Amino acid sequence: MDVLNKEKEMTKSENLTEYLIEAIVGGDILPGSKISEPELAKRFEVSRGPLREAIMRVEGLGLIERIPHVGARVITFSEDKLLELYEVRESLEGMAARLAARHITEDEIVQLEGVLATHSKHIREVDGASYFHQHGDFDFHYRIIKASRNSKLISLLCDELYHLLRMYRYQSPRSQSRPNEALEEHKYILQAIRNRDEELAEMLMRRHISGSRMLIEKQISSPVVK
């Protein structure tokens, strides 16, 4: 295979990876669904090579699991896994907030203020019914992690855990969310980062994520009323 064809195969694999991530996170490919290589290969008119590479990448993110004698399947929502994810986030994102207070630029602070202004506008428009969850640069936590300037931390949180969190957000009940409280907590975290108060930034971030985890635990333990 020449260099040009290799580059084309890599591009196909990267595009397929992005498609699979968004389809799984958004629920277009349902939890527990089997990943059919022939079906996807036919749909995107690609060979098995780049497709298998894409599936392996998504598997590496924890969105796909391989079951013996069954094959690759989309992971199924698990409350235990979600609580484990929040326990890890509490520690790692607390560290990210501490480092962000040390390394963040003034321009990044301005951008974060803009993100929170967008979130605040959304909450007002929906009368506090939900928080404004988007991914990448529109996500408050994502930007703080990036501002930590720690490549290993960024890899762990943005590559390995981030899409799992997005998936669980989509699947979790939103009726008992706390958008106004979350927004205020984000503002306090940003203020600590703006003031370069590393200790306070870490404490507030850990407390913020711990509060979300406790809410999830409460939802899990509460009986379902029909």
Span of 18-32, 69-83, 211-225 with lowest mean pLDDT: 211-225
Give the span between the Cα atoms of 121 and 202, in whole angstroms.
26
Give the span between the Cα atoms of 219 and 176, in whole angstroms.
8
Average pLDDT value for residue range 133-157: 86
pLDDT band at 175 (very low <50, low <70, confident <90, very high): very low
Span of 10-19, 130-139, 165-174, 214-223 with lowest mean pLDDT: 130-139
Across 4-13, 69-78, 97-106, the highest mean pLDDT is recorded for: 97-106
Q: What local confidence, expressed as pLDDT, does residue 169 receive?
A: 75
Give the span between the Cα atoms of 8 and 14, in whole angstroms.
10
Q: Rounded to the nearest 5°, which phi and psi values hold at 81? A: -65, -35
- List domains and CATH numbers for the chain: 3-74 (1.10.10.10), 79-221 (1.20.120.530)
Across 69-83, 106-120, 121-135, the highest mean pLDDT is recorded for: 106-120
- Judge whether residue 3 has pLDDT over 70: no
Which of 163, 142, 156 lies closest to 64, judged by CA?
A: 163
Q: Which residue has the higher pLDDT, 206 or 124?
A: 206
Q: What local confidence, expressed as pLDDT, does residue 189 receive?
A: 98
Q: What is the pLDDT of residues 50-71, one digit of tens each?
A: 889 999 999 999 999 998 888 8
- Judge whether residue 134 has pLDDT over 70: no
Q: Which residue has the higher pLDDT, 82 or 95?
A: 95
Distances in whole angstroms, Cα of residue 180 to Cα of each of 72, 109, 113, 127, 134? 39, 21, 16, 10, 17
Q: What is the pLDDT of residues 102-116, one digit of tens each?
A: 999 999 999 999 999
* pTM score: 0.80
Contacts of 12 by beta carbon, 8 Å cutoff, 6+ apart: 44, 46, 50
Q: What is the pLDDT of residues 20-53, one digit of tens each?
A: 998 898 888 999 999 988 888 887 788 888 889 9
